[in-house]
Amino acid sequence: MYIKEYEIKYYEQNWKGDLKESALLNFLQDIATLSAESLGFGYTFTFQNGYAWVVLKYHIELYEEIKDYSFIKIKTESRGTTKLYAFRDFEICTRDDRLIGRAVSAWVLIDINSRKILPMQKVLSFVSPYEKRPDDLDYEKIENFDTSQYQKTFEVRYDDIDVNRHANNSNYLVWALETLPVEFRKKHYPSSIDIKYRKETTVGKKVQSLAKIFDNYSLHIIKDSQDNEELCSVKINWKY
């Protein structure tokens, strides 16, 4: 386990004092980067070889609102690789180690110039193969929907782009959530979040965010506004 404590700044909280979902994704990405570096396949390894890590999907479970905390502690573990994918788990804890959330994720390694996926077990032959455990979290199916209730269009800004030359993964969740009504957001908080990334986007592009609310969950699709190609899908279970 790689462990890091994060101070929650005021600008990482919403108006209710909850940790913003996008800030949580940034914490997960940060500790994944630090853990990978400590294991020999982080930013030093990727920059030297012209590679980049790209996250494919997350399943995040939150057992309570992350509300009015000054600090949280995140723990992460590399779970090994298959032929094309690498897997990583997370635990989200209070400062005194009370578990308040868990997450699982899947990643690929790409050539940063060709954008092609690299064979994981060949490039990272020193990393152990993935082995499933009985208590592993399961990814939820993200259903399609034909007609959206809510939609907004966003332009990808220069500041949305990270060192991998595409919009950072936290932006997709911002675009998804920003489409929902303000009153709904005020009364609800997420108990689980599933995100599936399908295609990257970059500066100057326009994306369309579509959303539909069901009884206790919402579904979201992020599309390229020009060619209507799906970039990302999201499912959020809500509590209030």
pLDDT tens string 15-39: 999 999 999 999 999 999 999 999 9
Report the 10 Å Cβ neighbour count for 81.
23
Residue 202's pLDDT is what? 93
Check: CB of residue 163 under 8 Å from CB of residue 132: no
The CATH classification number of 2-123 equals: 3.10.129.10
- Residue 164 pLDDT > 80: no
pLDDT tens, position by position, 60-113: 999 999 998 999 999 999 999 999 999 999 999 999 999 999 999 999 999 999
Q: Residue 90 CA to chain centroid, in angstroms?
A: 12
Going across the sheet that includes 217-224, the strands are 2-7, 71-81, 86-93, 99-111, 51-62, 189-197, 230-239, 217-224, 206-213, 150-155
- Mean pLDDT across 121-128: 93
For the domain with range 150-239, which CATH number is right: 3.10.129.10, 3.60.10.10, 3.40.50.410, 3.40.50.300?
Answer: 3.10.129.10
Burial of 228-238, coded b for 16+ CB within 10 Å and e otherwise, reads: eeebbbbbbbb
**Average pLDDT score over residue span 32-49:** 96
SS (H, E, C) the chain: CEEEEEECCHHHECCCCEECHHHHHHHHHHHHHHHHHHHCCCHHHHHHHCEEEEEEEEEEEECCCCECCCEEEEEEEEEEECCCCEEEEEEEECCCCCEEEEEEEEEEEEECCCCCECCHHHHCCCCCECCCCCCCCCCCCCCCCCCCCEEEEEECCHHHECCCCCECHHHHHHHHHHCCCHHHHHHCEEEEEEEEECCCCCCCCEEEEEEEECCCEEEEEEEECCCCCEEEEEEEEEEC
Structure confidence at residue 1 (pLDDT): 94
Q: Quick one: pLDDT at residue 46?
A: 94
Q: Report d(CA 151, CA 164) in Å as an integer.
A: 28
Q: Residue ranges per domain, the chain?
A: 2-123, 150-239
Other C-beta atoms within 10 Å of 4: how many?
14
Asked if 2-123 and 150-239 have one fold, the answer is yes
Alpha carbon of residue 227 to chain centroid: 24
pLDDT at 45 exceeding the cut of 80? yes
What's the pLDDT tens digit per position in 143-161? 999 899 999 999 999 999 9
Tens digits of residue pLDDT in 180-206 = 999 999 999 999 999 999 999 999 999
What value does the mean pLDDT of the chain take?
Answer: 96
Please tell me the total number of residues recorded for the chain in this structure.
Answer: 240
pTM (predicted TM-score): 0.94
Percent with pLDDT over 90 in the chain:
94
Q: How confident is the model at residue 86, as a pLDDT?
A: 97
Could you tell me the two tokens for 68? Answer: 């009015």
Query: At residue 42, does pLDDT exceed 90?
Result: yes
